[in-house]
A and B are shown apart, each in its own frame.
Chain A
Amino acid sequence: METARRVWQQPDVDRWSKRRRRLEPLWFLLPSLTVFAVFAIWPTIEAVVTSLSRYNLTEPNARRVFIGLENYRTMLADPTFWGDLVRSFQFVIASVTVTLLLGFYIAYLLFNANRGRNIFRILFLVPMTVSPAITALSFKFMFNYEFGVINVMLDGLIGKKLNLLGDAGLALWATAAIDAWIWTPLVVLILLSGLESLPVEPFEAAALDGAGAWDMLRSITVPLLKRFFLIAALIRIMDAFRVYEIIQLTTAGGPGNLSETLNVYIAKRGFSFFEMGPASAMAMILTFIIVAVGTVFVRQSSAFEEATS
């Protein structure tokens, strides 16, 4: 009887044992998943709910009142939202382009440096180690028309000063330049590690075929670094969309709102006006845009992996 029972139970025991083994890793992941759920998923759900509500913190006895998609409708009809969205894209394109080009140039120089490579690597990382808020305030004074060091140098070199933060046509690009200054070292790190991971055989073969440095750079180095470019671009794009302190501390979005990007506007609506509903709705849209752009880059990166494997 005992044997028969054991035989009868055998398949269940195996199935339960396999299931338990499959679930074991989850138990070890549980603490991290819990933290992720509490600090990432739950706030996101709260933000979605708030985006569908009217909720102003400065109202007496403030509480959330469900209003459906009204915040989204109002946002889509708000010319400030669209203007800031366009400026966000302008900022991202400008900053990311500069950081990728400049970052690659510096990484390439460091890679080919014979002397002092390590020292220069450390020096080039310094901008990234300074708080963005401190950097923004420093640049605000450096860009000042009257006494800023940038304009003092320009005046000495070309006899002309630039109204970098007060000119409507320059303010946004000036803040993009600050952003590029801060985050170029990150791109340098990524691309330098990429350069150092490249196989030497294609270069040796190209050298044997008589290819020059420029040909090797154009035809071998850059294509092989595509994956690293995609990673660097993805990280930079996500960061650039979320820029806040650089703009707020240098131009406050001015003149007018001509250097204001969407994240700055979200912060204004949420933490200056305390209109949590519209701010959350815009934050949802911005998140969606960042995720959409990120998805494109991840797919590109995956496609490249498959093509080269």
Chain B
Amino acid sequence: MTKQKLLIVLTLAVAGAMLLVACGAPPAPASEAPATDAPAADPLRAYEGTTLRLALKQGYETTAIENYIQDFEDKTGINVEYEVYDEPTLREKFVLDSTAQTGTYDVVAVQFWYFPEYDKAGWLEPLDDYVTNDSIDGWLDVGEIPDAVKASFVGKEDGKLYSIPVSAAGGVLTYRADVLEALGIPAPVSVKDVVTAAALVKEGRPELYGWIGRGESSFASFSTSAGWAWAYGARVLDEANSVTVDTPEMLEAMTDFVALNREFGPPDQASLGWDAETPIFCADGGGAAFNFEMSGFPGFWMNPANCAYGENLGMAILTGPGNHAPQWFYAEALSISKFSNNKEAAWLFLQWRMSPDILLREVTDGIRLDIPYNAVLTDPAYLAKAEETSLDDYVAMLPDILNAVDMRSWPSVPEFVKVAEAFQQEISLAIAGEQTVEEALAKAQTNIEQIMREAGY
């Protein structure tokens, strides 16, 4: 063969190789451990040699996995590979993986607000049969997880449980008890009290903000505004998924809410997200008097090691004109992908993750205290840690916070992201002073109605 021909052949070979690589099939998922006819002597080691792949979200829910995964691997012989992403990236990864049905991930962290979307698409494995037939003694007991928390991961059509909640939070008001005491302001009991008290704080302590919260224009802030509205009996969608934004109750709710943010919050409240709350609320020499958030935040703030005013903070579960508590529900769970080839091994992992032993280690190692598992909440080690970190008042209140969760307030629809963005965008503009509350609600009503119409409601 001449040099020229050889060169041409080599070039074609390289091009062909590149094309094959580009168009090649994705790597085959790790195969299940070989099945045997004889029952495994140790059920923990039934899937020894399997590799599990996890897609997780950044946060304290994942810290425990990162810290203790060796324990699971030693006990089961299962190799675990995990990837940790921020929430939007995690969702993208899971959606793309599920759309392509590649089964790259065996276990995925699911936030409750995306659950209806995944449920409708059929991307998650139902867990009822696993719970009934395949539970390891001493590990996860699903009955110990509060029903209200589990309910947000139950399939709409079949009523089956699809995820195991790992964390849960409810809405709670956190306030500067020392400031209220100094100004002679009683601790708020209702949402209306908060508005009144914020005005008094501004008058009596002008260096403080009366309020700090989430005002930015993204669905991540929706829980604050829409959750606040439930105290007035207002919500974005009713039981029939009709849009109920332009109601008198919502107008009253958002008028108070916008006033709190605009008149008593920082000037850039319309651009503040969760990440700005802590630096402002806990700022030395300043701060804010009131914050309404998910209960995970006061668990951090009330620890004096984390916040200058930790020991001077109080918490309250409010009520409102609608005789409801304002909501700020959040829950994260672990699910098994419908397309996983290692479902049984994945179920073993879920049970280990929510075993009392691991949960208590999270507590004693100072990772978190808001554990949605009843048996842990009454454990002496848990209570001792709470006292050690000055969070005994906080943990005493946690059961009541979760019991106040009312999912009727929440638009549990697959189109949640679009609905929440459409609502919060207009509220953010009202907070920025670019439109009135009436205009904001009118626009939100129109836009959300269009979203629901296009979705076939």
Contacts and interface: CB of A to CB of B under 8 A. Distances in A.
A272 B417 contact: yes
Interface string A162-182: 011111100100000000000
B268 A167 contact: yes
Interface residues of A, number: 40
Contacts of A38: 18-19, 22-23
Contacts of A144: 268, 276, 279
Given A58-B95, A257-B425, A166 B18 contact: no
Among the interface residues A253, A254, A273, which one has the most CB atoms of the partner chain B within 10 A? A254
Contact of B272 (A27, A166, A256, A258): A166
Nearest to A144: B276
Given A57-B95, A58-B117, A252-B216, A268 B271 contact: no
A60 B124 CA distance: 12
Nearest to B430: A256
A166 B95 contact: no
B217 A27 contact: no
Contacts, number: 127
A234 to B, nearest CB: 30
A255 interface: yes
Contact of A27 (B11, B121, B417, B432): B11
A146 B121 contact: no
B267 A163 contact: yes
Interface string B11-39: 11011001100110000000000000000
Give the interface SS of chain A, mostly helix, strand, loop or mixed: loop
A254 B7 contact: no
A141 B279 CA distance: 10
B270 A255 contact: yes
7 contacts: A144-B268, A163-B268, A166-B268, A168-B270, A252-B216, A254-B425, A274-B95
A251 interface: yes
Interface string A1-39: 000000000000000000000000001101100110011
B122 interface: yes
Contacts of A164: 268
Nearest to B427: A256
B197 to A, nearest CB: 21
Contact of A271 (B12, B18, B88, B122): B88
Contact of B432 (A166, A268, A274): A166
What 4 pairs between A and B have smallest CB-CB spacing?
A: A166-B268, A254-B217, A256-B429, A255-B432
